[in-house]
Protein backbone atom coordinates (compact mmCIF):
# COMPACT_ATOMS: atom_id res chain seq x y z
CA UNK A 1 0.00 0.00 0.00
CA UNK A 2 1.53 3.32 -1.09
CA UNK A 3 1.78 6.16 1.41
CA UNK A 4 -0.46 9.23 0.80
CA UNK A 5 1.11 12.18 -0.98
CA UNK A 6 2.40 14.83 1.44
CA UNK A 7 1.35 18.47 1.22
CA UNK A 8 4.12 20.09 -0.88
CA UNK A 9 3.95 23.34 1.11
CA UNK A 10 4.54 21.44 4.35
CA UNK A 11 7.43 19.56 2.75
CA UNK A 12 8.85 22.89 1.56
CA UNK A 13 8.55 24.25 5.12
CA UNK A 14 10.60 21.35 6.44
CA UNK A 15 13.24 21.77 3.75
CA UNK A 16 13.35 25.50 4.55
CA UNK A 17 14.10 24.64 8.17
CA UNK A 18 17.13 22.76 6.88
CA UNK A 19 18.33 25.94 5.15
CA UNK A 20 17.50 27.92 8.32
CA UNK A 21 19.83 25.68 10.33
CA UNK A 22 22.65 25.11 7.83
CA UNK A 23 22.83 28.62 6.37
CA UNK A 24 20.99 31.00 8.69
CA UNK A 25 22.26 29.59 11.99
CA UNK A 26 25.26 27.60 10.81
CA UNK A 27 26.92 30.36 8.81
CA UNK A 28 25.39 33.78 9.34
CA UNK A 29 24.67 33.85 13.07
CA UNK A 30 28.47 34.01 13.40
CA UNK A 31 28.42 37.59 12.12
CA UNK A 32 26.25 38.64 15.08
CA UNK A 33 28.17 36.69 17.72
CA UNK A 34 31.60 37.59 16.29
CA UNK A 35 32.03 41.07 17.90
CA UNK A 36 31.50 39.59 21.37
CA UNK A 37 33.83 36.64 20.68
CA UNK A 38 36.47 38.96 19.26
CA UNK A 39 36.31 41.30 22.28
CA UNK A 40 36.22 38.53 24.90
CA UNK A 41 38.92 36.36 23.30
CA UNK A 42 41.09 39.27 22.04
CA UNK A 43 41.11 38.10 18.43
CA UNK A 44 42.43 40.11 15.49
CA UNK A 45 40.28 40.67 12.40
CA UNK A 46 42.36 38.00 10.64
CA UNK A 47 41.67 35.43 13.38
CA UNK A 48 37.99 36.26 13.29
CA UNK A 49 37.96 35.92 9.51
CA UNK A 50 39.87 32.64 9.74
CA UNK A 51 36.94 30.92 11.47
CA UNK A 52 34.68 31.71 8.54
CA UNK A 53 37.45 30.51 6.24
CA UNK A 54 37.54 27.24 8.24
CA UNK A 55 33.77 27.04 7.76
CA UNK A 56 34.24 27.60 4.02
CA UNK A 57 36.93 24.89 3.83
CA UNK A 58 34.46 22.50 5.40
CA UNK A 59 31.90 23.66 2.87
CA UNK A 60 34.26 22.77 0.03
CA UNK A 61 34.79 19.29 1.45
CA UNK A 62 31.04 18.88 1.93
CA UNK A 63 30.21 20.03 -1.60
CA UNK A 64 32.78 17.69 -3.15
CA UNK A 65 31.62 14.89 -0.86
CA UNK A 66 28.02 15.47 -1.96
CA UNK A 67 29.00 15.10 -5.62
CA UNK A 68 30.68 11.77 -4.86
CA UNK A 69 28.02 10.52 -2.44
CA UNK A 70 25.16 11.17 -4.88
CA UNK A 71 26.41 8.17 -6.89
CA UNK A 72 25.38 5.89 -4.00
CA UNK A 73 23.03 7.80 -1.69
CA UNK A 74 19.73 9.57 -2.33
CA UNK A 75 19.67 13.38 -1.92
CA UNK A 76 17.06 13.04 0.85
CA UNK A 77 19.42 10.94 2.97
CA UNK A 78 22.30 13.39 2.50
CA UNK A 79 20.01 16.28 3.42
CA UNK A 80 18.96 14.52 6.64
CA UNK A 81 22.52 13.59 7.68
CA UNK A 82 23.77 17.11 7.02
CA UNK A 83 20.94 18.73 8.97
CA UNK A 84 21.36 16.52 12.05
CA UNK A 85 25.14 16.85 12.36
CA UNK A 86 25.07 20.62 11.70
CA UNK A 87 22.65 21.09 14.60
CA UNK A 88 24.93 19.12 16.94
CA UNK A 89 27.99 21.07 15.76
CA UNK A 90 26.31 24.37 16.61
CA UNK A 91 25.70 23.20 20.17
CA UNK A 92 29.37 22.13 20.46
CA UNK A 93 30.58 25.58 19.28
CA UNK A 94 29.49 27.08 22.61
CA UNK A 95 31.40 24.62 24.79
CA UNK A 96 35.14 25.47 24.55
CA UNK A 97 36.66 28.89 23.60
CA UNK A 98 40.02 27.62 22.26
CA UNK A 99 40.66 28.69 18.67
CA UNK A 100 41.44 25.14 17.54
CA UNK A 101 38.11 23.91 18.96
CA UNK A 102 36.22 26.75 17.33
CA UNK A 103 37.99 26.03 14.04
CA UNK A 104 37.02 22.34 14.23
CA UNK A 105 33.33 22.99 14.77
CA UNK A 106 33.16 25.77 12.21
CA UNK A 107 34.75 23.31 9.75
CA UNK A 108 32.26 20.56 10.58
CA UNK A 109 29.35 22.98 10.40
CA UNK A 110 30.45 23.84 6.87
CA UNK A 111 31.09 20.22 5.92
CA UNK A 112 27.70 18.87 6.92
CA UNK A 113 25.85 22.08 6.12
CA UNK A 114 26.96 21.66 2.51
CA UNK A 115 25.38 18.20 2.39
CA UNK A 116 21.98 19.68 3.20
CA UNK A 117 22.35 22.86 1.18
CA UNK A 118 23.57 21.09 -1.95
CA UNK A 119 20.62 18.68 -1.94
CA UNK A 120 17.82 20.98 -0.68
CA UNK A 121 17.44 22.74 -4.03
CA UNK A 122 17.18 19.49 -5.98
CA UNK A 123 14.52 18.20 -3.55
CA UNK A 124 12.49 21.42 -3.70
CA UNK A 125 12.72 21.60 -7.49
CA UNK A 126 10.69 18.38 -7.71
CA UNK A 127 7.73 19.68 -5.69
CA UNK A 128 6.09 21.55 -8.61
CA UNK A 129 8.03 20.18 -11.56
CA UNK A 130 5.32 21.06 -14.11
CA UNK A 131 4.54 24.61 -12.89
CA UNK A 132 7.38 27.06 -13.70
CA UNK A 133 6.07 30.04 -11.69
CA UNK A 134 5.19 28.02 -8.58
CA UNK A 135 8.46 26.14 -8.93
CA UNK A 136 10.41 29.42 -9.04
CA UNK A 137 8.50 30.70 -6.00
CA UNK A 138 9.10 27.47 -4.08
CA UNK A 139 12.84 27.52 -4.77
CA UNK A 140 13.00 31.17 -3.73
CA UNK A 141 11.07 30.49 -0.52
CA UNK A 142 13.36 27.57 0.28
CA UNK A 143 16.44 29.76 0.42
CA UNK A 144 14.88 33.10 1.31
CA UNK A 145 12.52 32.20 4.13
CA UNK A 146 14.90 29.71 5.73
CA UNK A 147 17.90 32.02 5.93
CA UNK A 148 15.85 35.18 6.44
CA UNK A 149 13.89 33.75 9.38
CA UNK A 150 17.12 32.75 11.11
CA UNK A 151 18.59 36.22 10.70
CA UNK A 152 15.39 37.83 12.04
CA UNK A 153 15.46 35.54 15.09
CA UNK A 154 19.15 36.13 15.74
CA UNK A 155 19.00 39.86 15.05
CA UNK A 156 16.06 40.36 17.40
CA UNK A 157 17.66 38.51 20.31
CA UNK A 158 21.45 38.08 20.21
CA UNK A 159 22.63 41.75 20.18
CA UNK A 160 20.38 42.60 23.13
CA UNK A 161 21.40 39.46 25.00
CA UNK A 162 25.12 40.03 24.50
CA UNK A 163 24.77 43.71 25.41
CA UNK A 164 22.96 42.86 28.64
CA UNK A 165 25.02 39.84 29.65
CA UNK A 166 28.38 41.08 28.35
CA UNK A 167 30.81 39.82 25.73
CA UNK A 168 31.70 36.78 27.86
CA UNK A 169 28.17 35.43 27.31
CA UNK A 170 28.89 34.47 23.68
CA UNK A 171 28.91 30.70 24.51
CA UNK A 172 25.26 31.01 25.58
CA UNK A 173 24.46 32.54 22.21
CA UNK A 174 25.77 29.42 20.46
CA UNK A 175 23.95 27.11 22.88
CA UNK A 176 20.68 28.92 22.19
CA UNK A 177 21.25 28.77 18.43
CA UNK A 178 22.14 25.08 18.68
CA UNK A 179 19.06 24.36 20.78
CA UNK A 180 16.79 26.02 18.21
CA UNK A 181 18.51 23.97 15.50
CA UNK A 182 17.76 20.74 17.34
CA UNK A 183 14.12 21.83 17.58
CA UNK A 184 14.01 22.10 13.77
CA UNK A 185 15.12 18.49 13.26
CA UNK A 186 11.78 16.62 13.44
CA UNK A 187 10.02 18.53 10.63
CA UNK A 188 13.21 18.83 8.59
CA UNK A 189 13.88 15.09 8.70
CA UNK A 190 10.23 14.32 7.91
CA UNK A 191 10.38 16.62 4.87
CA UNK A 192 13.46 14.82 3.57
CA UNK A 193 11.62 11.50 3.88
CA UNK A 194 8.45 12.76 2.15
CA UNK A 195 10.00 14.91 -0.61
CA UNK A 196 9.57 13.57 -4.19
CA UNK A 197 12.44 11.31 -5.19
CA UNK A 198 15.13 12.82 -7.41
CA UNK A 199 16.17 10.53 -10.31
CA UNK A 200 19.60 8.98 -9.80
CA UNK A 201 22.30 10.02 -12.29
CA UNK A 202 23.45 6.88 -14.10
CA UNK A 203 27.08 6.11 -14.77
CA UNK A 204 26.59 6.32 -18.56
CA UNK A 205 24.73 9.68 -18.45
CA UNK A 206 26.23 12.40 -20.67
CA UNK A 207 28.63 14.74 -18.85
CA UNK A 208 27.57 18.19 -17.72
CA UNK A 209 28.15 20.87 -20.42
CA UNK A 210 30.79 22.63 -18.35
CA UNK A 211 32.14 24.89 -21.10
CA UNK A 212 28.68 26.11 -22.01
CA UNK A 213 28.03 26.89 -18.32
CA UNK A 214 31.37 28.60 -17.66
CA UNK A 215 30.01 32.15 -17.46
CA UNK A 216 27.49 31.08 -14.81
CA UNK A 217 30.26 29.36 -12.84
CA UNK A 218 32.35 32.55 -12.91
CA UNK A 219 29.39 34.62 -11.78
CA UNK A 220 28.73 32.30 -8.86
CA UNK A 221 32.42 32.43 -7.92
CA UNK A 222 32.09 36.22 -7.72
CA UNK A 223 29.12 35.74 -5.41
CA UNK A 224 31.13 33.45 -3.13
CA UNK A 225 34.04 35.89 -2.95
CA UNK A 226 31.97 38.96 -2.19
CA UNK A 227 28.73 38.36 -0.31
CA UNK A 228 30.20 36.73 2.83
CA UNK A 229 32.23 39.83 3.76
CA UNK A 230 29.10 41.86 4.51
CA UNK A 231 27.45 39.14 6.61
CA UNK A 232 30.66 38.38 8.50
CA UNK A 233 31.67 41.95 9.34
CA UNK A 234 28.46 44.04 9.30
CA UNK A 235 28.21 44.07 13.10
CA UNK A 236 31.93 44.87 13.39
CA UNK A 237 31.48 47.80 10.98
CA UNK A 238 28.53 49.07 13.01
CA UNK A 239 30.58 48.83 16.19
CA UNK A 240 33.33 50.87 14.48
CA UNK A 241 30.65 53.51 13.78
CA UNK A 242 29.57 53.48 17.46
CA UNK A 243 26.13 52.06 16.63
CA UNK A 244 23.99 51.21 19.65
CA UNK A 245 22.60 47.80 20.49
CA UNK A 246 19.09 48.73 19.36
CA UNK A 247 20.38 49.98 16.00
CA UNK A 248 22.37 46.77 15.43
CA UNK A 249 19.31 44.66 16.26
CA UNK A 250 16.97 46.69 14.03
CA UNK A 251 19.35 46.56 11.06
CA UNK A 252 19.70 42.78 11.34
CA UNK A 253 15.95 42.28 11.75
CA UNK A 254 15.36 44.46 8.66
CA UNK A 255 18.00 42.46 6.78
CA UNK A 256 16.39 39.14 7.71
CA UNK A 257 12.88 40.41 6.99
CA UNK A 258 13.90 41.53 3.51
CA UNK A 259 15.55 38.16 2.87
CA UNK A 260 12.30 36.44 3.86
CA UNK A 261 10.16 38.38 1.36
CA UNK A 262 12.77 38.49 -1.41
CA UNK A 263 11.33 35.46 -3.32
CA UNK A 264 8.21 37.50 -4.09
CA UNK A 265 10.38 40.14 -5.76
CA UNK A 266 12.46 37.75 -7.88
CA UNK A 267 10.17 34.84 -8.76
CA UNK A 268 9.04 36.38 -12.06
CA UNK A 269 12.65 37.01 -13.11
CA UNK A 270 13.59 33.38 -12.44
CA UNK A 271 10.55 32.02 -14.27
CA UNK A 272 11.10 34.17 -17.39
CA UNK A 273 14.83 33.74 -17.94
CA UNK A 274 16.83 30.54 -18.47
CA UNK A 275 20.05 32.50 -19.02
CA UNK A 276 22.50 34.11 -16.58
CA UNK A 277 20.55 37.37 -16.43
CA UNK A 278 18.83 36.63 -13.07
CA UNK A 279 22.17 35.91 -11.37
CA UNK A 280 23.72 39.04 -12.89
CA UNK A 281 20.89 41.24 -11.60
CA UNK A 282 21.07 39.65 -8.16
CA UNK A 283 24.84 40.24 -7.94
CA UNK A 284 24.48 43.90 -8.91
CA UNK A 285 21.99 44.40 -6.09
CA UNK A 286 24.23 42.60 -3.56
CA UNK A 287 27.17 44.79 -4.63
CA UNK A 288 25.14 47.95 -4.08
CA UNK A 289 24.08 46.76 -0.63
CA UNK A 290 27.68 45.91 0.32
CA UNK A 291 29.06 49.33 -0.66
CA UNK A 292 26.28 51.54 0.74
CA UNK A 293 27.37 51.52 4.44
CA UNK A 294 30.73 52.99 3.43
CA UNK A 295 29.56 55.33 0.66
CA UNK A 296 26.55 56.60 2.63
CA UNK A 297 27.72 56.87 6.23
CA UNK A 298 25.13 57.06 8.97
CA UNK A 299 21.94 55.28 10.09
CA UNK A 300 20.02 56.01 6.86
CA UNK A 301 22.73 54.43 4.73
CA UNK A 302 22.76 51.32 6.93
CA UNK A 303 18.98 50.95 6.66
CA UNK A 304 18.97 51.25 2.87
CA UNK A 305 21.99 48.95 2.67
CA UNK A 306 20.31 46.24 4.78
CA UNK A 307 17.14 46.45 2.68
CA UNK A 308 18.94 46.25 -0.69
CA UNK A 309 21.31 43.50 0.48
CA UNK A 310 18.52 41.52 2.13
CA UNK A 311 16.26 41.65 -0.92
CA UNK A 312 18.99 40.08 -3.06
CA UNK A 313 21.62 38.09 -1.16
CA UNK A 314 19.75 34.79 -0.74
CA UNK A 315 18.47 34.90 -4.31
CA UNK A 316 21.79 33.82 -5.84
CA UNK A 317 21.30 30.12 -4.94
CA UNK A 318 17.72 30.14 -6.33
CA UNK A 319 19.06 31.75 -9.52
CA UNK A 320 21.51 28.86 -9.88
CA UNK A 321 18.87 26.26 -9.02
CA UNK A 322 16.40 27.76 -11.50
CA UNK A 323 19.08 27.88 -14.21
CA UNK A 324 19.88 24.21 -13.56
CA UNK A 325 16.23 23.15 -13.58
CA UNK A 326 15.49 24.94 -16.86
CA UNK A 327 18.60 23.81 -18.73
CA UNK A 328 19.43 20.27 -17.54
CA UNK A 329 17.53 16.96 -17.15
CA UNK A 330 16.31 16.09 -13.62
CA UNK A 331 18.91 13.36 -13.10
CA UNK A 332 21.65 16.01 -13.49
CA UNK A 333 20.22 18.52 -11.04
CA UNK A 334 21.92 17.16 -7.92
CA UNK A 335 25.34 16.89 -9.56
CA UNK A 336 25.10 20.32 -11.20
CA UNK A 337 24.00 22.11 -8.03
CA UNK A 338 26.76 20.34 -6.08
CA UNK A 339 29.33 21.49 -8.64
CA UNK A 340 28.05 25.06 -8.42
CA UNK A 341 28.35 24.74 -4.65
CA UNK A 342 31.98 23.59 -4.96
CA UNK A 343 32.82 26.64 -7.10
CA UNK A 344 31.01 28.92 -4.66
CA UNK A 345 32.68 27.32 -1.63
CA UNK A 346 36.22 27.58 -3.04
CA UNK A 347 35.66 31.28 -3.78
CA UNK A 348 34.05 31.85 -0.39
CA UNK A 349 37.10 30.45 1.40
CA UNK A 350 39.20 33.46 0.41
CA UNK A 351 36.70 36.19 1.25
CA UNK A 352 36.53 36.40 5.08
CA UNK A 353 40.25 35.98 5.76
CA UNK A 354 41.27 38.40 3.00
CA UNK A 355 38.71 40.93 4.23
CA UNK A 356 39.97 40.56 7.80
CA UNK A 357 43.58 40.97 6.65
CA UNK A 358 42.68 44.16 4.77
CA UNK A 359 40.76 45.42 7.82
CA UNK A 360 43.80 44.87 10.05
CA UNK A 361 46.05 46.74 7.60
CA UNK A 362 43.74 49.73 7.16
CA UNK A 363 42.37 49.84 10.70
CA UNK A 364 38.79 49.62 9.39
CA UNK A 365 36.60 47.01 7.75
CA UNK A 366 35.13 49.64 5.38
CA UNK A 367 37.68 49.11 2.55
CA UNK A 368 36.92 45.37 2.69
CA UNK A 369 33.23 46.06 2.06
CA UNK A 370 34.11 48.14 -1.00
CA UNK A 371 36.48 45.46 -2.31
CA UNK A 372 33.71 42.86 -1.89
CA UNK A 373 31.32 45.06 -3.89
CA UNK A 374 33.85 45.28 -6.73
CA UNK A 375 34.20 41.48 -6.85
CA UNK A 376 30.43 41.09 -6.95
CA UNK A 377 30.20 43.45 -9.92
CA UNK A 378 32.83 41.41 -11.77
CA UNK A 379 30.75 38.31 -11.08
CA UNK A 380 27.66 40.08 -12.44
CA UNK A 381 29.53 40.95 -15.62
CA UNK A 382 30.50 37.29 -16.11
CA UNK A 383 26.98 35.99 -15.42
CA UNK A 384 25.45 38.48 -17.86
CA UNK A 385 27.26 36.64 -20.66
CA UNK A 386 25.67 33.26 -19.83
CA UNK A 387 23.20 32.14 -22.49
CA UNK A 388 20.48 29.55 -22.08
CA UNK A 389 21.75 26.10 -23.04
| DSSP-assigned letter for residue 127 | T
Residue 235 CA neighbour count, 13 Å, CB half: 30
CB atoms within 10 A of CB 326: 17
The residue extents of the domains of the chain are 8-197+210-383
Which positions ≥6 away from 180 have C-beta within 8 Å? 25, 153
Q: What was the pLDDT predicted at 2?
A: 44
| DSSP assignment string, 335-383 | HHHHHHHHHHHHHHHHHHHHHHHHHHHHTSSHHHHHHHHHHHHHHHHHH
Please state, in angstroms and rounded to a whole number, the distance separating the CA atoms of residues 25 and 32. Answer: 10
- Residues 293-322: pLDDT tens digits? 888 878 888 889 999 999 998 899 889 988
Please state, in angstroms and rounded to a whole number, the distance separating the CA atoms of residues 283 and 204. Answer: 36
Distance between first and last Cα of the chain:
41
For residue 138, the surrounding DSSP H or E stretch is helix 132-165
Q: Is 321 exposed, middle or buried (0-12, 13-18, 19+ CB in 10 A)?
A: buried
> 50 with 353: CB under 8 angstroms?
yes
Q: What was the pLDDT predicted at 86?
A: 96
Q: What was the pLDDT predicted at 208?
A: 83
Does residue 110 sit in helix, strand or coil? helix
Say what angle helices 29-41 and 170-194 make with each other, to 10 degrees.
Answer: 150
What's the count of helices (H) and strands (E) in the chain, helices before strands? 14, 0
Q: What was the pLDDT predicted at 30?
A: 81
Does residue 241 sit in helix, strand or coil? coil
Please state, in angstroms and rounded to a whole number, the distance separating the CA atoms of residues 22 and 181. Answer: 9
> 307 with 254: CB under 8 angstroms?
yes
Q: Which residues of 380-389 are buried (b: 16+ CB within 10 A; e: fewer)?
A: bbbbbebeee
Structural domain 8-197+210-383, CATH architecture? Up-down Bundle (1.20)
Q: What was the pLDDT predicted at 232?
A: 74
Nearest Cα to 26, choosing from 96, 95, 66, 85? 85
> 352 with 52: CB under 8 angstroms?
yes
Q: What was the pLDDT predicted at 1?
A: 38
Q: What was the pLDDT predicted at 277?
A: 94
Residues of the chain with pLDDT under 50: 1-2
Q: What was the pLDDT predicted at 352?
A: 67
Q: Is the pTM of this model over 0.75?
A: yes
Q: What was the pLDDT predicted at 134?
A: 82
Please state, in angstroms and rounded to a whole number, the distance separating the CA atoms of residues 37 and 167. Answer: 7
Does residue 147 sit in helix, strand or coil? helix
Q: Is 168 exposed, middle or buried (0-12, 13-18, 19+ CB in 10 A)?
A: middle
Amino acid sequence: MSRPEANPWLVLTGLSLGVLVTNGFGRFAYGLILPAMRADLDWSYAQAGWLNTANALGYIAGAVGTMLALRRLAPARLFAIGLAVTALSLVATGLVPALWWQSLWRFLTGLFGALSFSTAGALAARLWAGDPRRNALGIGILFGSGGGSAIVLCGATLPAMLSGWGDAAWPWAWLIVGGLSLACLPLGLWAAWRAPAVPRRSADAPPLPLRAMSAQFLGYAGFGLGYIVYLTFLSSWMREQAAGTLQVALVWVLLGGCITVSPLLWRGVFARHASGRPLALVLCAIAAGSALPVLWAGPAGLVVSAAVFGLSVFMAPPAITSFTRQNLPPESWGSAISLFTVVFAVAQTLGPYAAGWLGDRTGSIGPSLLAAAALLLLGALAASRQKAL
